[in-house]
A and B are shown apart, each in its own frame.
Chain A
């Protein structure tokens, strides 16, 4: 497998993990290890530096992974920018998963606020990976704004419904100059494999692993799914076709 390159950094794993919803930090750590991931996202609102060893941020910093703090909880650009700045200080990283969802139920991202915040945060020196709906035009706008990747959703967060946005994801992947990480909604390793076969550069998974009966084994299953999908993609997966190869080609007369 080729390396995944984001903002000049090389990653051998193409699976990113979310750290919410786990039953304990110990199981989370084991799942991270089993997944082979090299980048994990953590909600800034969960970080409590006053708790030292007990703090999830402190815990993750001791692991060999790139920390990707996220702004979950922010409802607009202003809140996200403030949270990002506090997070940069607390976690000592300028990587940021930009999440702005004003709707607390489906947690669907606000495109207008996300673009505004991305523009401001790039100027402030952040490496921005924005969580967005699968909107090809928005992806190009974010690319123009200087984000390091785009993270379109497959389905609403936590829904486990898979690649419901596949038609738009195909366009995004085809047109993007920056890495495309399919985020949210991937409920099974087969969903992750399908995203990778489609040509996504990486996927991010949380709920499907964290609440599985056996999160550690499920993390491994996702690792294998992602690798299978990626290897298939790099091996030029045979394309499907609606047409049979005609035995009497329509253009045969040209050579007659």
Chain B
């Protein structure tokens, strides 16, 4: 196998990327705006640069128009289902970190079905399965069992778990997984080790090459992202965009989405090193849309109600509502701790009403078991 994305990544040293982004001028930004959804990674640098802050309103207008044209006045709804908070990794920012003395729980079949019952009653048809990384107990065998168990209840089953081998992904796709989300957390290789001190996750390269294993496995959609707040968000987002650009040429049948997880407070965890403001997050959302008119974008309940109400029109295509980030949290408290505190605790119905009031239609089902 060739070096794939790694070879491209190596052409962009971190400090150089930061310097280039900071050196972008208003005319670079203006040039990037003319690309209207078909930009290059260099255009993306301009769009996330400090210079682009002067053009934020223009970016927002364009981003909204491009999103309307491509996706229409609709908003996809999905919900995470936390299967397990067991984790062998030590990650300085995460509530599931191995060194965090919390009650650990992995849901069994019966517990998962109880969650499914509540989630279906909310109206959901797209589900995101989430876990920590505990390969012995919560590995591919477990995921496959759970996917097959819940498959009859959902049109779209998505997965956000530890990186796996290509063959493992193929098994899970056969079982019914359509989408896999895998966030690099940070593309700053040297600092990555500081945040991921122990466990399989400390292997930067293995994680970096995960989307390519997914592409080779033939997954329908791949979700990318960086954990915003760990390092300079402009640089980390640039590498995400570069990754996206590489993948969509390499795996042209695959769909792509990006997410914007901003670091939230969690028990026993560090605060963000590089906090990102609301204004900067809006800039980033618009930058992605103006760079790529096709990419899907999701926004979780990490963000506040007021913020989500305002940004859904600016480029977002999918949101979650009523999320619980503790395993078993929907059917009732099972004494397991949350991965992070959610900020928007409105019910799915309340969020759906908000979407309607903004002149958009909430879409619960937009995929089919036939695919």
Contact = CB atoms under 8 A, between A and B. Distances in A.
B71 interface: yes
B71 A105 contact: no
A23 B361 contact: yes
A89 B159 CA distance: 30
B367 A73 contact: yes
Interface residues of A, number: 29
A86 B370 CA distance: 8
Contacts of B70: 158
A136 interface: no
Contacts of B366: 43, 45-46
A187 to B, nearest CB: 9
Interface string A13-27: 000000011111100
A172 B72 CA distance: 30
Interface in A1-50: 20-25, 43-48
Given A104-B255, A105-B294, A158-B69, A48 B371 contact: no
Interface in B96-137: 123, 125
B253 A82 contact: no
Given A102-B253, A103-B253, A22 B368 contact: no
B2 to A, nearest CB: 23
B359 interface: yes
Nearest to B156: A45
B213 to A, nearest CB: 19
Nearest to A71: B370
A105 B73 CA distance: 18
Interface string B68-94: 111111100000000000000000000
| Of A23, A102, A103, most B-chain CB atoms within 10 Å | A23
A180 interface: no
Contacts of A45: 155, 365-368, 371
Given A83-B368, A103-B253, A210 B294 contact: no
B371 A73 contact: yes
A79 B178 CA distance: 14
A47 B252 CA distance: 27
Contact of B72 (A25, A104, A207): A207
A20 B370 contact: no
Given A103-B253, A104-B294, A160 B371 contact: no
Interface string A91-135: 000000000001111000000000000000000000000000000
| Of B71, B123, B371, most A-chain CB atoms within 10 Å | B371
Given A82-B370, A83-B371, A104 B253 contact: yes
A74 interface: yes
A22 B365 CA distance: 15
Contacts of B363: 46
Contacts of B369: 86
A211 interface: yes
Interface in B338-371: 356, 359-361, 363-371
A23 B360 contact: yes
B202 interface: no
Interface string B221-251: 0000000000000000000000000001000
A75 interface: yes
B170 interface: no
B270 interface: no
A83 B155 CA distance: 13
Contacts of B361: 22-25
B254 interface: yes
Contacts of B252: 102-103, 105
Contacts of A79: 370-371
Given A46-B363, A158-B70, A75 B371 contact: yes
Nearest to B218: A75
Contacts of B371: 45, 73-75, 79, 83
Interface of A: 20-25, 43-48, 51, 73-75, 79, 82-83, 86, 102-105, 158, 160, 207, 210-211
Interface of B: 68-74, 123, 125, 155, 248, 252-255, 294, 356, 359-361, 363-371
What 4 A-B pairs come out closest when comparing CB atoms?
A21-B72, A23-B73, A83-B370, A105-B294
16 contacts: A21-B74, A25-B361, A43-B366, A45-B367, A45-B371, A46-B363, A46-B365, A48-B125, A48-B365, A74-B371, A75-B371, A83-B368, A86-B370, A102-B253, A158-B69, A211-B68
Given A21-B73, A51-B364, A86-B369, 8 more contacts: A21-B72, A46-B366, A48-B364, A79-B371, A86-B370, A102-B253, A103-B253, A211-B72
